[in-house]
Amino acid sequence: MVATTGYNAGIETNSTQMSYAVETAFCGGNVNTPTAPAVAFKALRYVSENMSGSKNRQRPNEINITREATQAVTVSEQAAGTLNGALSYSTYDDLFASGVGNQWGTPISIAGATGDIALAGSGPTYTLTAGAGKWAGITAGMWIRLLGFTLSGGVNNNIYKVASTTSTVLTINAPFNSPVAETPAGSAAQVRALQMGNGTTFTSLFLQQQLSSALFLRYPGSYVSGFTVQGSVGNFVQSNFNIIATQELNSITNASTGGVVAAPSGSVFNCVGNFSGITWNNALVAATIDQFTITANNAGAAAQYGLGSAAAAGMLSGTFECNGTFRLFFKDFTLYQNFKSETLGTLSIAMKDGSGNAYVFTLPNATLMNPQVSAGGPGQAVMAQFTIEGNPQAAGGTLLIDRLINV
């Protein structure tokens, strides 16, 4: 049997690929003739995208005896679009970093030694004790992942919020489980931590869309101007990234140095077993939640232009802000009273994938605003939707993202 050729009218989406590299110099150091970073690009998993280039054209409003409009001229060029994906562990970490203006640090990986890590206490707070200096790098407000515990079917192997620290003691909150006292032998006990908050570090990406083996669209100087993470009943956790770039370029060669590195293959976060819950001031919100959204935005982010070139000369990083919403089945005024009193609190949304890898998105200084308590129709549940207003902490910080690996 011979394969059929020429059956496509054009390119189909299943043959395309989005990939990227982090730029160490904006557009490779020259916005007029951008060059890609000399590294292997990383593939992205995505559901859809609508990146496109455009030119701003202007024509002088001249008085003309021919009654024709004057020839238009190009005054600037740019590219923009949205990359829509299903959130999976580590897939979009560089895009999150660009969006919040920071960099992921070195993951904290702590192992027990001769059984020195012990878990004790009772709800709502517990303690992890170890030798002096064991908890270096872990601070109050971080989330941690415990591994290697075995009692009660490994109930202690979960994620916890750090309330306070000393050189030998971590005081932790356990909103998602009820731990039991345990001291794993030898080096069995493991602690993982990694947190990134919004900052002032600008990170741009060199994006590439491969359409075929010899057709590529390139987007140098790409900046994540905002992103949304959302989940709802009947859906997976979605992650959507708004991107602005200096321009769109076409090419017949791959910008990647060597083959493109495959995207992480972990499972997508679902909204059933992977949704850990929402906490308010370190306690689990005691209500049935059917949807949530976290939206980060760099307000005012835009390309900068100068005379002599239609290409952008640089990029404004904008002012970072973060807000959100969540909706629940209404049954009492517990959260409503926080709205009336404008109570400031810490709100966290946590999720773990099927392998136990977790993300926690935290607004450390939030207010619950503008609840909509509504009866949508006969025989329906009364729902309450709250707006989450993110505010900076006194020492700075509007959004924290904890990334917790399960190995």
Q: What's 176's domain CATH number?
A: 2.40.30
Stretch 66-80: mean pLDDT: 95
Distance between CA atoms of 50 and 315, rounded to whole angstroms?
21
Distance between CA atoms of 109 and 117, rounded to whole angstroms?
13
User: 258 and 137, same structural domain?
Assistant: no
Three-state SS at 53 = strand
pLDDT for position 267: 96
- Provide φ and ψ at 227, rounded to 5°: -150, 160
The domain of 126 spans 108-193
Please check whether residue 226 lies inside any domain of the structure.
yes
User: 205 and 186, same structural domain?
Assistant: no
User: 94 and 112, same structural domain?
Assistant: no
- Provide φ and ψ at 160, rounded to 5°: -140, 150
Place of tokens 């910080």: 397
Residues in the chain, how many?
A: 407
pLDDT band at 15 (very low <50, low <70, confident <90, very high): confident
User: 374 and 248, same structural domain?
Assistant: yes
Which of residues 177, 193, 209 is at a domain's end?
193
Q: Are 44 and 94 in contact (CB under 8 A)?
A: no
User: Does the pLDDT value for residue 5 go beyond 90?
Assistant: no
| Tokens standing for residue 104 | 């992921």
Please check whether residue 30 lies inside any domain of the structure.
yes
pLDDT band at 395 (very low <50, low <70, confident <90, very high): confident
Q: Would the CA dihedral through 119, 121, 126, 132 be positive or negative?
A: negative
Locate all alpha helices (DSSP H) within 268-358, ordered by sequence: 334-341
Cβ neighbours, 10 Å, residue 72: 12
User: 240 and 120, same structural domain?
Assistant: no
Cβ burial of 231 (10 Å; 0-12, 13-18, 19+) is buried
Which of residues 151, 171, 193 is at a domain's end?
193
pLDDT band at 122 (very low <50, low <70, confident <90, very high): confident
Quote the DSSP letter at residue 269: P
Which one, of 400, 7, 1, 34, lies nearest residue 245 by Cα? 34
User: 300 and 272, same structural domain?
Assistant: yes
pTM above threshold 0.85: yes
Q: Give the chain's domain count.
A: 2
User: 363 and 259, same structural domain?
Assistant: yes
Which of residues 158, 193, 228 is at a domain's end?
193
User: 116 and 100, same structural domain?
Assistant: no
pLDDT digits (tens, 9 = 90+) for 84-117: 999 999 999 999 999 999 999 999 999 999 999 9
Cβ neighbours, 10 Å, residue 80: 19
pLDDT for position 62: 94
Please check whether residue 9 lies inside any domain of the structure.
no
pLDDT for position 358: 98
